[in-house]
Structure 1
Amino acid sequence: MPTTSGSLRKFSSSLESQSVGITPVVASVHDHGSRIEVRAKNWPNSLHIPHVWLRDHCRCAQCYDPKTFQCNFDVATMPLNIRPSKIALLQDELHLTWPDGHESRYTLQFLWHHSHGGHTSHARDTRVAWSAKTFPPLHQISVPESTISGPGLRKVFTLLEQYGVALITEVSPDLDSTIAVSNHIGPTLKTFYGDTWVVRANGERADAAYTRVALGAHTDGTYFTQAPRVQVFHMVEAAPEGGETLLVDGLRVAQVMQTKHPDAYDFFSTHAIPGQYIGDGQQQYALLKTFIHHPVTGAFQQFRYNLYDRAPLSTLSVGAVEQYYRHLQTLASVVTDQDAGVWLKLQPGSVLFVDNWRVLHGRAAFSGPRCFLGCYISNDDYISTLRTVMQLNVMK
C-alpha cells in the first residue's frame, strides 16, 4: 500500500557479489513519496529515482521490445503522480507493482548504469593529455586488415580514447585495404571528397593539403556542423625529403588555456566562430564554438581549430571582434608551442587513426612525390562501434 506523505518505507536484502560497476553487497530501498531511494553498501552514493522514471523504464516485453530495443509504453498518458502500490527488493532486483497491477523488475546493475547519479556520474575520464615530452611511444598494431578483431581492435579503441591516436602497420597500399581497416572502426563517412580520397601534391582540390607547402596544426571539417570524428591517414608513398606528420593534443591545449588563459578559454567556449569551404561546386559553412563541452558533464568534448578555413567574421559584435583577435593569438601560441607538437615520419603501409575532435594534425613541407589514402568516420558511427567493442554502457 502507498504510504502517506512524509512517511518512509524501508526494505533490505543481502545480495550476491556481481559486477555492476560498483558491486552492491547489501542494499536497501526507501520510498520517499514521489521517488525511491536505493542504497547499496559499496556504492559511493544512493540513487534517488522518481516513480515516473521507474514506470517509464520498465523493461518487460510489454513496455519495451527486446528485439528492436524500442519503447512501447505510452509515456504521453502516464499519470504524473503515479506511485507503486508494492515495493520489494529481492536478491539483486527491485520489484514494483503499479496501481493497475502491472509489475516491473529492475536489476541494480540497470539502475546504477541508467539513472541519474549512478555510473555516468562516476565514470572515470580515461583520456591522458600529452605533449612532445610526454607523448607515449606509438604502439604499432601489426595486424592484417582482414583479421583485426578481438584484442587488437580493443587496443585500437583504447589508444584512441586515451591519446586520440592509434597506428596500424603492414597494411597493403591500396584503397580497398584502407576501407577494410577503417570499417572495423566505423563505415567511411561520405562527404564531397567522396567515401575515400587520394592526396597528392597535384592541386586537384581547392585545399592546401593538395600542395607541397607546410600545413600548421588544425582539425578538419570546421565548415561542417558535425566535423568528422576520426580521420584515417594511410601512407602509401612517403616523400623523399620532408612531409613529416605533426600531431598536437587538443586536450592539452584546452587544459593550458583553461588554466593559464581562462578569459580566452571562456571566449572560445561561448562564442561561435564561422568556418567555410568554397570550391569544387561547394559552399560549406558552419557556425560553432571552438571549444565544445559535454551537455551534461561539462567536460571538454571537441576542439574545432582551423586557421585556413575561417569564414568572414560577420557574426561577432565590434567589441567581441577585438577580443577574438587578441584571444586567437593566445590560442595560436599554445597550439604552436614547441613543446606541444609531435613529429612522425609515417612509412608506407602505416595507417594512422586520429581523433579529429581532439588531436590536431599538420605536416612539414616536402619535395618529390608523396601520397596517402584517407577517409573519415563520423562521430555517431565511431561511438556506436566503441560502445559495442568495449561493451560500454555510458554516455559519450
Structure 2
Amino acid sequence: MLSLARTSQARAAATANAQARAVACRGVGTQAPWKHQRGESQKHRQRQPHRDSAIETEETRYKPQSRKIQAKEAAALGGPQHQTATSASRYWPKLDTPKHAKRFTYHDLDGPKENGPVKIAWTDKFLFVEDPATENGRRTLKPATLRDSCACPKCRDVSSGQKTFSSVEIPVDVGLEHVKPTKKGLEITFLNDIPRFVEDGKDKHVMLLPWESVDLSLKRKGMEDVRLPRKRSVLRRTGVVYWDREIIAQQVRRIDYAEFMKEDSEAFWDVIIDICRFGLVYLKNVPRDEESVVRITTRIANIRETFYGRTFDVRAKPNAENVAYTSGYLGLHQDLLYLDPPPMIQVLHCMDNSCAGGESLFSDGERVGRLLWPFITRHRMAPLAEHHVPYQYGKHGYHYFSSRYVLDGNASGFSSVYWSPPFQGRYLSPVKDIRQWLEPARIFASLINDKDAIHEHKMEAGDCVLFDNLRVLHGRNAFDVDGGQGARWLRGAYIAAEDFLSRAAHIPKGLAEKYRGEEAWTPGLAQNRLKRSVWYEDVVRRVRELDPGVEA
C-alpha cells in the first residue's frame, strides 16, 4: 500500500510538473491551440460542428497546417525561416577572437578569383577563420571536430579510405598545438592527441584541413558545390531542362548502344547527363536478347531488385498481377510508390512492338510540381502538400504500403512529386474527407495530362528508354495484338537513387557543365525561370478557377 501511495504521489507530481512546463512553454510567444482567440477558458468555448456536418462554414472548412504552411510560404517567397522561442538552437554563440591568439592571413593567388584572403587566428582551444569581405563572416572551429575529420594515412586506411580510429578515442581536452598554412590547406598538430597516435610512431601526427573545408565553413561554397552523390549537388553541375511535348521532341537524344557500352566513352556520360537534365534518354540499336537490359543497367550501376525479380517483362498476360501487364490504356504514373524508397531509374528495352497502338507516354511531373509549388500556401491548394495518398500492393504473398503527398517539400522548397493513380491503395480508416484534396488534384492531373505536356513515342525493337521514375511520369496507350499476329514485349530493370547518383557524381569536370551554360543550377533559379516561362500563365489561370484570389 505504501508503495502504491508513493507511486500515485510521484505520478501526480510528474503530471503537475508537466502541466507547469507546458504552461511555461506556451507563455513564450505562443498561444495554446485549444484556447479561443478571445481568451475564453476551454469549458466556455462553443462546440464546433463536426467536419462532416451538412452546414459548412469558414470556421469548419479544411484549413492547412499553419506552422508547416508558414514555413512553405516563407520558402516560396524566398524569405528567412524563423525559429520559435521554444525551438532548440543548433548554433553556438560566436566567440570573439582573443587578443593573445596567433594570427596570419593567407591568400591563394591561383585560387578562384571570387575568393579573397582568409584571416586565420588560433589558440589551444579554438581555430578562427574569417572572410574579411563578408559581414559576420567569422567561424569558430573546434579541435575535437577537426581531429575527428583528419584524413591522413594514419587516420584513414590508404586502400579502403575508412577510419582507423573511433571518435570516442579522442580525448575531451584535445587542443591545438600549431597551425600552419600551406598551398593545400592548414597543417594542424594537436595537444593531447589520441595516445596511440603519439606513442606508436616517430613522425608527429599532422592533420591537413583542406581549403575547401575552410570555404565551406565560411559559406564561400555550399554543399552543392562539393562532388557528393546528392541530387542537388549533381544537378548543380549538369543543370536541368524542364520540358513539354515540343521541347523534348527537339532535344531528346537517341544514343547508339555500342557507343554507350564502350569504356571511357563520352556517349556513356551523355546518357547519365541527359537523365539528370531531362529525366529521359533513348538508346538505339540494342541487341535483341534478354540480357541486353542487364548489360545496359549494370553499365551504370547495380540493379535494384524488387519483388518482381532482378528484371521484369512487360507484356499482356491473363490474370495479370499488375495493370501494366494488360493490353489496356495505362495512365501516367510512377512505379512502386508503395516501396520506401521507390527506385529512381527505370530501364525499358523494347524486344517487340509489332501490334497496333502501345505508344509510350511521358510527362515532366517535376515541371508541373514546381509550377504549382508557390500556390500551396493557399487554402485551396494546400492539400496537395498535406494530404497523404495511400499506395499499396498486396498479391501473391507480398504486401507493401506507403503514403505520400502529391507535392513534397520543406522550408527549403519543393523536393518531390508523387503520382500513381493505378496503384493507390484504399483508405484503411475511411473517416478522412478527401473532397478538399480532389479539386487541386484535378488541377495537377489536368496539367500533366495536357496534350501539349505529353511526349508520345512508339518504341521499336532495339530501342531502350531510360528515365527518372521520381521525376518523369510514364504510361502507354492501349494496344491490340490483332488476334496473335502482333506483340508488345518490353524488358525492364530499376536502379536505386543512391546507386545512380553515386555514378553521376563522377561525371568528368567540364563534361557535366558542357550543356548547362555558365550559371550553376539551383532550386531557386529553377523556380524563377519557371515563373517567367510560357507555362506559368496557364497554371495561374487554372488555379484561379479554384481560388479566384490567387495573385500571379
Q: Is TM > 0.5 for Structure 1 vs Structure 2?
A: yes
Q: Which moved more, 1:259-268 or 1:307-316?
A: 259-268
Once the 2 structures are TM-superposed, how far is the Cα of residue 23 of structure 1 from its aligned partner? 7.8
**Is 2:500 the partner of 1:382?**
yes
Q: Quote the residue 2:383 is aligned against.
A: 267
Deviations 1:299-348 (A, max 9, x none): 544322100111112468635x3333333223222222222211112221
Secondary structure of the equivalent of 2:286?
coil
Q: Is the 8 A contact 2:173 2:192 kept in 1?
A: no
1:104 to 186, 203, 207: 207
1:283 to 379, 387, 399: 399
1:48 to 110, 127, 139: 139
Deviations 1:261-287 (A, max 9, x none): 544765343443321112233222123
107 and 341 in structure 1: CA distance in 2 versus 1, 3 angstrom threshold: same
* Structure 2 counterpart of 1:287, one-letter code: S
Once the 2 structures are TM-superposed, how far is the Cα of residue 106 of structure 1 from its aligned partner? 2.1
* Structure 2 counterpart of 1:371, one-letter code: W
Q: Is the 8 A contact 2:131 2:218 kept in 1?
A: no
**Is 2:421 the partner of 1:307?**
yes
Secondary structure of the equivalent of 2:242?
coil
* Structure 1 counterpart of 2:506, one-letter code: T
Q: Which of structures 1 and 2 has the bigger CA Rg?
A: 2
* Structure 1 counterpart of 2:210, one-letter code: T
Deviations 1:348-395 (A, max 9, x none): 111100100111101111112211111111112112222234479xxx
Query: 1 or 2, which has the higher helix percentage?
Result: 2
213 and 377 in structure 1: CA distance in 2 versus 1, 3 angstrom threshold: same
* Unaligned segments of structure 2, at least 5 residues: 1-94, 194-204, 226-232, 482-486, 513-552
Q: Is the 8 A contact 1:34 1:81 kept in 2?
A: no
Equivalents in 2 of 1:45, 1:169: separation in Å? 55
Equivalents in 2 of 1:265, 1:65: separation in Å? 53
Alignment of 1:178-193 (within 5 A): 178-193=293-308
Alignment of 1:58-77 (within 5 A): 58-76=150-168
**Is 2:270 the partner of 1:155?**
yes
1:210 to 325, 329, 336: 325
**Is 2:243 the partner of 1:138?**
no
Q: Is the 8 A contact 1:239 1:366 kept in 2?
A: no
Percent identity among equivalent residues? 22
* Unaligned segments of structure 1, at least 5 residues: none
Equivalents in 1 of 2:291, 2:158: separation in Å? 36
Q: Quote the residue 2:341 is aligned against.
A: 226
2:180 to 71, 88, 97: 88
* Structure 2 counterpart of 1:383, one-letter code: L
Q: Is the 8 A contact 1:14 1:91 kept in 2?
A: no
Equivalents in 2 of 1:307, 1:291: separation in Å? 14
Q: Quote the residue 2:467 is aligned against.
A: 354
Q: Quote the residue 1:373 is aligned against.
A: 491
Equivalents in 2 of 1:25, 1:17: separation in Å? 11
1:120 to 223, 237, 260: 223
Deviations 1:211-233 (A, max 9, x none): 11111111001110110110011
Q: Is the 8 A contact 2:115 2:220 kept in 1?
A: no
Q: Quote the residue 1:341 is aligned against.
A: 454
Equivalents in 1 of 2:421, 2:467: separation in Å? 19
Query: 1 or 2, which has the higher strand percentage?
Result: 1
Once the 2 structures are TM-superposed, how far is the Cα of residue 138 of structure 1 from its aligned partner? 1.7
Deviations 1:238-265 (A, max 9, x none): 2432111111112201112113554476
Equivalents in 1 of 2:425, 2:419: separation in Å? 12
Q: Quote the residue 1:29 is aligned against.
A: 120
Equivalents in 1 of 2:132, 2:499: separation in Å? 35
Equivalents in 2 of 1:185, 1:166: separation in Å? 14
61 and 138 in structure 1: CA distance in 2 versus 1, 3 angstrom threshold: same
Q: Pick 1 or 2: higher relative contact order, CA cutoff 8 A, min separation 6.
A: 1
Once the 2 structures are TM-superposed, how far is the Cα of residue 77 of structure 1 from its aligned partner? 5.1
1:254 to 363, 369, 372: 369
Equivalents in 1 of 2:255, 2:135: separation in Å? 38
Secondary structure of the equivalent of 2:347?
strand
Q: Which moved more, 1:163-172 or 1:330-339?
A: 330-339
46 and 114 in structure 1: CA distance in 2 versus 1, 3 angstrom threshold: closer
RMSD: 3.3
